[in-house]
Chains A and B, each alone.
Chain A
Amino acid sequence: MSAVLEVDRLTKRFGGVAAVDGCSLAVAEGTVTALIGPNGSGKTTLFNLITGYLRADSGAVAFAGKRVRRPEPTALCRRGLTRTFQQARVFGSLTLVQNMVAAVQQPRRSAFRQAVSRGDRERAVGLLEEFGLARLAGARADQLSFGQRKLLEFATVLMGRPRLVLLDEPTSGVNPVMVETMERHIRELRGRGLTLLVVEHSMPTVMRLCDPVIVLDHGSKIAEGPPAAVQHDPAVLDAYLGT
């Protein structure tokens, strides 16, 4: 399988602390790859570097076979790389449908067209239906529960027809039923050929969903492989348990 995302010796320092330290990894097309590691190991910082929310001190990122010279969120999204955030972020004052339509990739000249076209609305409602949110289509997003916001955020990124989605802790803070729903969606999307890179703290979720698993510690990759193998890797045990 070819790599849709390649990260080469990426480094980011905050003062004297190297949050990401020469990290290299590759994400193969069509996989659900987990990115795990103890708190402060640099997972979210790495996401921010890949998606252009932070500028790396050194290193390179390549997406879909092309080097991204200056990662910038808008441009990357339009090329097919998008993400969700650890704390579900939605447009609170907009309705769910408007949240979804805001993510439709439109050319600049469309600025004065109608905000929500019939086609966009149908697609948005269809996706909301898949995520069990269709009945709330006209409600403001700030009226949703935390779990519903997570689902909405996930559904929203799909409106842009991405090729790779970076999910930052999709199941954290949500109830078990919602976790099951989220896992089902991830499986379905993988089945449709979408590639996902998932930061996740819940090991049962990682074991059920992801292959391969990449482990970070102190900003560097310390292990990579199938979940079962990684689980028993001495370096991983050492990083997590400090033994």
Chain B
Amino acid sequence: MRTVTVPGLARGLGFTALFAAFPFVFTESWVVNIGIFTVMYAALATAWNVLGGFSGYLSLGNAAFFGMGAYGEAILFQHISIGSGYRPFWVLPLIGLGVAVAVLPVAWVAVRTRAATFAIVTISMLFIAQQLAFNLHSLTNGAQGLVMPLPPFPNTTFERPFYLAMVAVLALSVLLSWYVATGRLGLMLFAIRDDEDRARGLGVHTTYAKLFAVAISAGLTAMAGGVWAYYIGFIYPQFAVDPLVTIGAVLMAFLGGRGTIWGPTLGALILVPAQQYLAFSEGASELYLVAYAAIFLGVMLLMPRGILPSIADLVAARRSSNGAHRADGPRAEMPEAVT
């Protein structure tokens, strides 16, 4: 069994409780709306990190998984009643599992490539998925899109169930992320990130590890897509399979610290509210995009490996200067340092 440390457990439970309490403290709709997108991006960035952060395979196609989840949810509830409004949330694990399995054949081809080629293959995958959404009229209703049934939630707390569903997806993402990072699979992925050829020569099943990571990443991303579809209500190809969704998630993971457990969440907590606030304060001038980029560049200049690894480096440097060197102790970039 894995060792669950008391600080680690406290951190996990504490963050989950804080996130869950948010809509009960801040009840205004627009605030909870920002909360939903912040938590959604935290989940997306954490899901991306399982592949892109742990194995170093920079996937730019995760929005395709997001769209698959969104369309999966929307198509399903064209035929099934949403009941009291909570049924679409209960099917999310099935949607995640379905997408995780469905992407494996394509992923098997994609993971045969590396580095920039992999990034290009995955972004091509994204645009193929978008084109399919535009053209498979009988399934997706093409450019007209799909409409999700309106849930019968009270107006005053309408956002709350969506928010809590997103928190559940985030909690699952962080938990799975931790479970992968502290297991053999994590070790295999880190070895692949550092030197894949060497890992192959040491008997590591690299293809198997990468496929596992893709499946986990895709499944979690699809679940977030499912909640998003239900919340937004109108599903169009250009928004359901949007490259900006992937780019946002990647930026957040880089900012917080890719390859760490909490880094992507931290990145989302900084970037999404900043983006929303700047969009609000700068209005239609779109200057907010410049300010948004400036925040990102500023942090990356000061902390090129992301916030959490930089902090971990500082702590490690301080510890080693004090002469403390535990055998097999935490290292700067490994997730143990931040779990």
Contact = CB atoms under 8 A, between A and B. Distances in A.
B201 A51 contact: yes
Interface in B149-183: 179-180, 182-183
B290 interface: no
A105 B203 CA distance: 6
B28 interface: no
B329 interface: yes
Q: Which 6 A-B pairs have the closest CB atoms?
A: A77-B203, A91-B194, A103-B202, A111-B185, A73-B200, A138-B328
A162 to B, nearest CB: 9
Nearest to B190: A94
Interface residues of B, number: 39
A154 B180 CA distance: 28
B187 A98 contact: yes
B11 interface: no
A139 interface: yes
B70 interface: no
A51 B200 CA distance: 10
A46 B122 CA distance: 35
A110 B209 CA distance: 11
5 contacts: A83-B201, A93-B332, A95-B334, A102-B191, A116-B187
Nearest to B331: A140
A115 interface: yes
A108 B201 contact: no
B184 A106 contact: yes
A157 interface: yes
B206 A91 contact: no
A89 B333 contact: no
B327 interface: yes
A138 B329 contact: yes
B199 A102 contact: yes
A130 B182 CA distance: 27
A240 interface: no
A83 B197 CA distance: 11
A115 B325 contact: no
A221 B200 CA distance: 28
Nearest to A159: B202
B333 A93 contact: yes
Interface of A: 51, 53, 72-74, 77-78, 82-83, 85, 89-95, 97-98, 101-103, 105-106, 108, 110-116, 121, 125, 137-140, 156-157, 159-160
A157 B202 contact: yes
B179 to A, nearest CB: 7
B195 interface: yes
B326 interface: yes
Interface in B101-147: none
Contacts of A116: 187, 328
B201 A113 contact: no
A169 B40 CA distance: 51
Contact of A115 (B184, B212, B331): B184
Contacts of A91: 190-191, 194-195, 198-199
Nearest to A93: B333
Given A111-B188, A160-B202, 16 more contacts: A53-B201, A73-B197, A82-B201, A85-B198, A90-B195, A93-B194, A94-B334, A95-B328, A97-B327, A102-B187, A103-B204, A110-B184, A138-B331, A139-B331, A140-B331, A160-B203
B187 A73 contact: no
